[in-house]
Structure 1
Amino acid sequence: MTKVLLIGGGGFIGARLARQCVAAGLSVRIADVVQPAADADTADGCIEYVVGDFDDSADLERMLDGVNVVVHLVHRAMLLGLDSSMVQEMERNVAPTVRLFDRCVADKRLRLIFVSSGGTVYGEPEERTPIVERTALRPISVYGTSKSMIEQVLGLYAAQRGLQAIVVRPGNAYGPGQHPFKGQGLIPTVMASALQGKSVTIYGDGSAVRDYIHVDDIARGILAAIQAGRGGETYNIGTGLGTSINALINDFIRPAMAAKGVEIDLQYAQPRGVDVAYNVLDPTRLAEQCGFRAAIDLQTGIAETWDWIFGTYGGADHR
């Protein structure tokens, strides 16, 4: 049986990916720095948990023991602000990930999937059309720059040292289980803010367009790359459909929340220098090579997310 190691697998995407892998008949080991909860989902014993830091050599050896595929999901302290330190970002994320690549190169049977960021690595596209994987990477945030740097190193290792590697670039993830007020995830933050009577700040005029994709579809997309992806390839995981922030809130989130009588107080502020005006991913390559297409439409996904947010945050003050 193929055994998959999910580094950072206790997170939002990783937890869903673990379930998808188990359903596909794979054995899963989740590696994270946080001790799993007592009621953590083990999927009938098919999910193993290892607590440790992948940048610690002894911990990494325990994580890698007996696995065939490594999925790198973890990113420490996502930095999007204009004053974010690139030096700190390289120390926290780039250098440890390169050391992971060094270890994987030493074991020729290992395959590696690096989860990058389709929402940030491309920067501002020249045209408002879905972005294909061959598009030049021109990130405008520290986070996106870090992801693109890691991709470049991974390409070098694949070309020169024979590392079996695939890059996946997900769009804007959302769905049940994504906690608000974490510096990312507009959808849960809008919903939870409205529940708590807080205003929601939108940077810019709300016309920025994004490719919102349900976390379950992202998990299925990564699984498709694990099962059928070609070594050395890069795959967007998106819907190919763009939705502006204004449309997201007015056409999808507001109607979902209306049944509970919850209103959204929107406030608009000056745009930030780290936000692009358009980001929609072309998912054709993953569809053609791996047979994957996103299946959950935005209306359905928003309704699911609202039910979870209301059930989790509806009766408490979570600031």
Structure 2
Amino acid sequence: MKVLITGGAGFISSHIADLLIENNYDVCVIDNLSHGKLQNLNPKAKFYNVDIRDKEIFDIFEKEKPDVVIHNAAQISVFSSVKDPLEDASLNIIGAINILEASRQFGVKKIIYPASAAIFGEPEYLPIDEKHPLNMISPYGVSKHTVEHYLGVYKKLYNIDYMILRYSNVYGPRQDSSGEGGVVSIFCEKLINGQTPCIYGDGEQIRDFVYVKDVAKANLMAIESNRGGIFNVCTNTKMTVNNLFGYIRDLTRKDIRPGYVKERDGDIRSSYMTYDKIANEIGWSPEYSIQTGLKETFEYYCD
């Protein structure tokens, strides 16, 4: 079976590609390398350096004729979406429609799409399940959710199956510490270099951290499942930013304390999700504890 991954040189996507190739899938990758890195690419994956909005996408689909598309390429910065909503919509909506149209024309059977927790806003209840009300508070949240509607329409009109995977806070090797997310990679790099990490607010914000290899496994199982719809991919555990910092500091064995600064506008106080639906319908559950995942991640940044 052939799988095409957009954004496949990125953090999460490159781990998905590695796992699929390990399981004997034929993998091709589309990435314009605006955020992805060549060193993330598996040498067994065929690579195309193309923007998802480019008409060349249709030539690639005609040549490769993928059975499944994992559409991960996106503009992922909430801040950037507020600053430039047109560019956010161009990448996340127009780019996605370009991929959907190529998928329709060249016989793609299934599309797997990662949604964003940005669609929930401040949670009305915890843990967040798949039926939780949506309250987008950024153009990024709106653009990511808009694609979910397009997937539903393409299923009805053109019979392309889809699965939407809503990730909690993904962490692991290859994550870029330069972005506004990626707190695990930021803490790791700061502590390894003997620098003082910054924590916004009091550090008692609650998050749900899921290891990237568990996320890759969810994508593999999504390909192999005949199920469709929306599924949370998470751990259903509560981890404060302070506790996360403590775990990573223990790995470094350095007596460094964080610096606390004013909390950021729009930051959500508490957010964690339940994975009951994907466990019951597909059989996925997280295999990595936070301790094991952080240890592997820390060792990656030490190299």
Output the TM-score relative to the length of structure 2: 0.90
What does 1:46-85 correspond to in 2, within 5 Å? 47-63=45-61, 65-76=64-75, 78-80=77-79, 83-85=82-84
SS class of match (1:52)? coil
Partner of 2:135: helix, strand, or coil? coil
SS of the counterpart of 2:69? strand
Could you say which residue in structure 2 is the equivalent of 1:15? Answer: 14
Instruction: Give the CA deviation at 1:214.
Output: 0.7
Q: Is 1:135–2:127 an aligned residue pair?
A: no
Match of 1:168 in 2: 165
Could you tell me which residue of structure 2 aligns to residue 264 of structure 1? 256
Contact 1:229/1:289, CA 8 A, preserved across alignment: no
Question: Given residue 169 of structure 1, which amino acid in structure 2 is its aligned partner?
Answer: R
Corresponding position: 1:241 with 2:237: yes
Q: CA deviation at 1:302?
A: 0.9
Alignment length (residue pairs): 300
Tell me the SS of whatever aligns to 1:199: coil
Residue 124 of structure 2 corresponds to 126
Aligned 8 A contact 1:116 1:147 in 2: yes
1:229: Cα distance to partner?
Answer: 4.8
Stretch of structure 1 that moved more, 194-203 or 218-227: 194-203
The structural deviation recorded for 1:21 is: 1.1
The one-letter code of the counterpart of 2:99 is: L
Structure 1 unaligned blocks of 5 or more: 312-319
Residue 298 of structure 1 deviates from its aligned partner by 0.3
Match of 1:285 among 266, 274, 277: 277
Consecutive unaligned residues in structure 2, runs of 5 or more: none
Q: Check whether the contact 1:115–1:167 (CA below 8 A) recurs between aligned residues.
A: yes
Distance 2:138 2:296 in 1: 30
Letter in 1 for 2:29: I
Q: Distance in 1 between matches of 2:136 and 2:37?
A: 34
Deviation at 1:196, TM superposition (A): 3.1
| One-letter code aligned to 1:32 | D
Contact 1:3 1:67 in 2 (8 A): yes
Which amino acid is 1:201 matched to? C
One-letter amino acid of the counterpart of residue 248, structure 1: L
SS at match of 1:145: helix
1:90 is matched with: 89
Residues 1:191 and 2:192 aligned together: no
- Write the distance in 2 (CA, Å) between the matches of 1:25 and 1:83: 41
Structure 1 residues 183 and 172, CA gap change in structure 2 (3 angstroms): same
User: What amino acid sits opposite 2:89 in the alignment?
Assistant: M
| TM-score, structure 1 normalization | 0.86
For the aligned residues, what is the CA RMSD?
Answer: 2.3
**Cα offset, 1:18, TM superposition:** 0.9
Question: What is the deviation of 1:108?
Answer: 4.4
Query: What is the match of residue 316 of structure 1?
Result: none
Taking a change above 3 Å as real, the CA distance of residues 257 and 229 of structure 1, as seen in their structure-2 partners, is farther
- Structure 2: which amino acid aligns with 1:240? N
Counterpart amino acid of 1:294? P
Q: Which of 145, 149, 154 is 2:146 aligned to?
A: 149
Are the aligned partners of 2:53 and 2:94 in contact in 1 as well (CA < 8 Å)?
Answer: no
The answer for the alignment partner of 1:255 in structure 2 is 250
Distance in 1 between residues matched to 2:301 and 2:73, nearest whole Å: 24
- Displacement of 1:39: 9.4
In structure 1, give the amino acid aligned to 2:252. Answer: M
Instruction: Read off the aligned partner of 2:9 and give its amino acid letter.
Output: G
